[in-house]
Amino acid sequence: MWSDEEDGNADGNADDARSPTIGEDRDEPGEDRDEPPPVVEEEIEIEAEEGQDQEDREDYEHEHEADVEPGDDPFTNITKKSDIQWRRHTRFTLVETTWESPTSDPPEPLTPYGYFKQYVPSQMFELMSTMTNIYAEQNGVRGYKHASASEIEVLVGLHMAMGVLGLPRVRMYWSSSINIGIFTETMSRDRFFQLRSNLHVVNNHERPPGDTDVFFKVRPIYESIRKRCLQLQLEEDLCIDEQIVPFRGKLSVIQYIKGKPTPWGVKIYFLCGKSGLAYDFLIYQGATTELSEKSKNILRHGASVVFHLCQRIQNPNHKLFFDNYFTTYNILEVLAEKKIHAAGTARLCRFANPPLKPDKEMSKKTRGNHDEVISRDGKVVLVKWFDNRSVVLASNFVGVGDEDEIERWDKKERQYVKIKRPEVVKKYNKAMGGVDKLDQLISLYRIDIKSRKWPLHMITHAFDVAVVNSWLEFRRDNESKGTQPQKIMDLLEFKMNVAEVLVRSGKPQGSKKRGRPSNSDVASTSQTPHEEAGQKRGAREWRPVLEVQKDMVDHLPNYDAKKEATRCKLEGCSGKTHVFCDKCKVHYCFVSQRNCFKDAHRK
């Protein structure tokens, strides 16, 4: 049985509570953090990531010795490192990158839960309930009652609500002094801990012989989410980067990456759009990561991750960006053959040490100067740009190109100055922050728990990814339909909406307390449901989630015993009533002339 620490659900990491906007945690090349900051925009990563594979730490000083037979696509015409040659004093020929956006009509926006269930369908909750019951039986858990799919939905919904509310201890959500109805009215505290301790997605005893999948225990839920990601329409600008699932327990493939908001954890490679929407991902698991042996032998690990995720890109003229962990000469060649326009920061040792000007020489020139070299075959260009310090970018479609001007803080003159910026830097800064944006959105309301078992962390992270991607879809579809931005639900409201549907929709009301009612119970009979929830008179009226209102389960009329009747909340009715729904906590007319109570709950 998994041993959870029941007295807390947040480990107090300040970086996960509210992450800064994208780019604030990284400096532009040469930026002085002690001086007033420059104009905020995407920043370029220069430093090599820590925690990467040993083979990626090598300086690529060996030749490619893999046997490549003629006709093997796409590695037939790949260039060996010893054959890479460079020339200068020649402008790189820009590649035609005309993008044809999809012409299909945008889909009609769904409800928040409608988007979420495309990632995690009802069948997944059925599977989780079955496997949780099997695991509890295998371990002989005393007093365990078989869980239904509805109970697992409630369990997941309560975890989502915890990510939003963020109380320091799990037990506080059931505290009588706080009285949070979504917890106290739906599941007991002991049942919550019992289900969470036994939560499983697979049967541990049915692992296929010879299976080397490190993440076998959580694979079904990640495949369900990935299935939906693969169905999304790609954006023009894409990026590939790493994401870390926070975890510091025992796991063979745990990583440490210096500079990340949460440096310890499980690494996932994501293919995202500029908007942050995830289109594909790959969980890193060491030597058994799902990469072809041929691509690993020829491209090495980082570049083979790019090649693997690029199988998702079927149409030409997409622009793809990644950092120096993934960038090699050969991956730019391969992507050019697939008509994918790629660029990324580069390590010179992977490009046969090109004859770029040294930093000492460039530092003596005007700030913003650059140097450019092109491969002999004209397929790859390297641009070295000197701001306060140098950065090198490699590309197969754009080099210096059309330079623009940007503002930078000058320490000596103590004012902003304008410097020139190559086009490749502009495009990289514009599109590279997609995975960082996904990370930031997840960290805002992360389901943060304390457990020594990694599967629980991976399961909750999967639900976080599903919610954020659902919200990004929801926002994109509403914007395409012309909905005003202020009328589009934000991520906090969206996540609580999904949580409420999981917890209440199709579920009966919680059992009433036994024994005589307490003073608080007696007092509540003279209050309206809005006053019970602490809503002030005249404030915005509360409405139940549509899926809960129309689920036809346990909607019972009650009487508020107030002196003054309350306005009926059914649209189009101006009557007043003392009757309200016990489940929805909303007033509806229930008289001989009209039955708004029935009309409001009818599907």
Report the C-alpha dihedral over residues 552, 555, 556, 561, rounded to 10 degrees.
-150
**536 has a pLDDT exceeding 70:** no
| Angstrom distances, CA of residue 401 to CA of 86, 90, 94, 111, 385 | 18, 12, 7, 45, 13
15-29, 50-64, 310-324: the lowest-pLDDT one: 15-29
State the Cα–Cα distance between residues 485 and 462, nearest whole angstrom.
27
The confidence score (pLDDT) of residue 57 equals 40
% of residues, the chain, pLDDT over 70: 81
**Is the pLDDT score of 176 beyond 60?**
yes
**Residue among 426, 350, 474 nearest 84 (CA):** 350
Name the least confident of 186-200, 254-268, 508-522. 508-522
Interval 340-391: pLDDT, tens: 999 999 999 999 889 999 999 998 898 899 999 999 888 899 999 998 889 9
> Beta-carbon neighbour count of residue 132 at 10 Å?
24
DSSP string, 119-136: HS-HHHHHHHHHHHHHHH
Per-residue pLDDT tens for 259-275? Answer: 778 889 999 999 999 99
Residue 475 has pLDDT above 60, yes or no: yes
Cα–Cα distance for residue pair 88/502, rounded to 1 Å: 61
> Stretch 437-461: mean pLDDT, rounded?
93
Residue 541 is predicted with a pLDDT of 60
Cα angle for residues 388, 389, 395 (degrees, 5° grid)? 120
Name the band, by pLDDT with cuts 50, 70 and 90, for residue 586. confident
Q: How many CA atoms lie within 13 A of 171 on its CB side?
A: 5
User: Could you give the CA distance from residue 382 to residue 369 in angstroms, rounded to a whole number?
Assistant: 14
Distant-in-sequence, close-in-space partners of 65: CB < 8 Å, separation ≥ 6: none
pLDDT at position 450 over 50: yes
Read off the pLDDT of each residue in 59-79 and give the average, rounded to a whole number: 52
The pLDDT of 417-428, averaged and rounded, is 92
Mean pLDDT, rounded, for 285-298: 86
pLDDT per position as a tens digit, 40-59? 333 443 333 444 444 444 44
Which amino acid is present at 45? E
**Confidence bin at 564 (pLDDT 50/70/90):** confident
From CA 259, how far away is CA 252, in angstroms rounded? 21
Phi, psi of 559 (to 5 degrees): -120, 130
With contact defined as beta carbons under 8 Å apart, do 580 and 601 qualify? no
The pLDDT of residue 262 is: 85
* Overall average pLDDT of the 275-299 stretch: 90
Q: Are the C-beta atoms of 404 and 421 separated by less than 8 Å? A: yes
Q: Residue 157: which pLDDT band, with cuts at 50, 70 and 90?
A: very high
**Mean pLDDT computed over every residue of the chain:** 81
Q: Please give, one letter per residue, the 3-state secondary structure of 372-396.
A: EEEECCCCCEEEEEECCCEEEEEEC
- Coil, strand or helix at 480: helix
β partners of residue 580? 558, 587
Q: Cα–Cα distances in Å, from 403 out to 385, 424, 562?
A: 12, 9, 71
Report the C-alpha gap between 110 and 475 in whole angstroms. Answer: 10
* pLDDT score at 294: 83
The mean per-residue pLDDT over the stretch 546-555 comes to 77
Average pLDDT over residues 241-265: 89
Instruction: List all residues 6 or more positions away from 218 whose beta carbon is below 8 Å from its beta carbon.
Output: 201, 202, 455, 458, 459, 462
Q: What is the pLDDT of residue 527?
A: 46
Two tokens, residue 364: 């003596």
- Give the model's pLDDT for residue 428: 94
Q: Over range 92-106, report the average pLDDT.
A: 74
Beta pairing partners, 312: none
Task: Answer whether 239's CB lies under 8 Å from 432's CB.
Answer: yes
- Contact indicator for 478, 109 with CB cutoff of 8 Å: yes
Cβ burial 26-60 (10 Å sphere, 16+ → b, else e): bbbbebeeeeeebeeebbbbbeebeebbeebeeeb
List % helix, strand, coil for the chain (3-state, nearest 5).
35, 15, 50
Q: 20-29, 400-409, 561-570 — which is least confidently predicted? A: 20-29
What percentage of the chain carries pLDDT values higher than 90?
45
DSSP 83: G
Pairwise CA distance, residues 547 & 115, whole Å? 13
Nearest to residue 225, comparing CAs of 124, 120, 311, 308? 120
Which has the higher per-residue pLDDT, 364 or 467? 467
| Whole-angstrom distance, CA of residue 324 vs CA of residue 328 | 8
pLDDT at 510: 59
